[in-house]
Structure 1
Amino acid sequence: MSVKVLPILCASVLISLVRGDSLLTPCRTDDVDCLTKTTSQFLSNTCKGIPEYDIRAIDPLHISSTDYKVPDGSGLIFHFKNLEVTGLKDQTFSDFKMDTKKQDVVLTTNANINVVGDVTMERGKKSKTFSGTFSLSGSVAGTATYNYSFNVDDKGVKHYIVGPEEITCQALGENVLTIAPELQQALDADPEIKVIREQNKDRIRMLRNESLCHITRKAYVTLIHNLRAAAKLLPTTDFLIGV
């Protein structure tokens, strides 16, 4: 997209937001086709971010740093920095469950995620560390669970209030990991790493999945933030019908 086109796109989205007529397509909770369409519509209209309404860019999405400590007692920690995540704008609707009595929602989308950035692998405080750049891509299913309530603004318009979210992730199929040549060389030259690789091939595959899901969970926080921001702006009738 050219630099000249982007301001025009943002301006049209801002107008749509104020009018509330094209950011979303109102759907019934059991209308899968409509929910699929409105998910795509929302992501397309907001993927570059709209700062005026506290809607953040999601594609690319930048994560300055995040650490993943492997929960197996090994002491292995991945320190990720300067991450750029792409693919979120093209995610697809998978499932939606809404309990109007408990006022909670379970929303699942599928995405093909690609991550590039820096990583430092640490195995215990006294162990060696290995650092370099990497890319990791794969398909994931991200699920956000949150409760909701309602608020009526000073103009008498009813809005959703989106509560705190809990995000889970499942890797779908194989992923692809590429690391910088200098990092690869350092790993290949370390005898301890060589033994770990030979003895734990399945575990290494799982570590790639777990790392991808850890980053995906961080990214999905921004998705729900944008939904929360849109809910503050738009009436409930712009989201769902018959609720």
Structure 2
Amino acid sequence: METELSEALHTETLQMYLQPQFDTHSDTLCGAEALVRWEHPEYGLLYPDTFLPLAEESGQLYQIDLFMLKQALTALHDWHLSGKKPVQLSVNVSNALFHHHEFLPHIRELKETYGECFCHIELELTEDLLLENESYANHILYALKIMGFKLSIDDFGTGYSSLSYLKKLQVDKIKIDRSFISELTHDSQDHIIVDAIILMGHALGLRVLAEGVETGTQLEILKTMQCDHVQGYYFSPAVPLKDFAARWIGT
């Protein structure tokens, strides 16, 4: 399967799906997260948890990250050329890509073609990745911000969260991990934690998004807490690019 995965990077079997994100204040689309899928010729549609570990072991994960970033930029570029209003697309950055020696050179190369689209891309990074080497992280984040990217901390609350590093790192948004949202209506501690994260984020001038929203009750609680953005199966699963564009961008 390792060889097949390598081949998938150069064919259309590796695909970008988009899961919409919504503004809780206006109930309108505000963006989407780019998620990779593999249309395997034998096994059908494969989700990331079935092949990303293999990609990491074989040293191909950073290539998949770059592939997804280019797919997102291409979509934004195409929408722009056809006169459609772009939306913000969030793309995950793995440890493998963030610490790859060619990370910034690859980004600068993409900027030559897609530079005008960088302001519509939000790069998602995990807490652990950012804290592994704060000096290096700050250097990379500064370069990415200068080039126009938005930055967010993914799965917030599951790593080594602290007010001090949030203040130092140049991020725009925090994404509350779905594990806190799933029990929001049943677990008083999760309710307190989510409320505290939102208040803390806003106090630091950050926008806050809740992942994994699956019920109307969860949504109403998050609205009451003034959570800015939401994402989850309650609204839509991740869908192929063309389906997303037809429904939310227009044809």
- Normalized against structure 1, the TM-score is what? 0.23
Select the structure that is richer in helix: 2
Report the TM-score when normalising by structure 2: 0.23
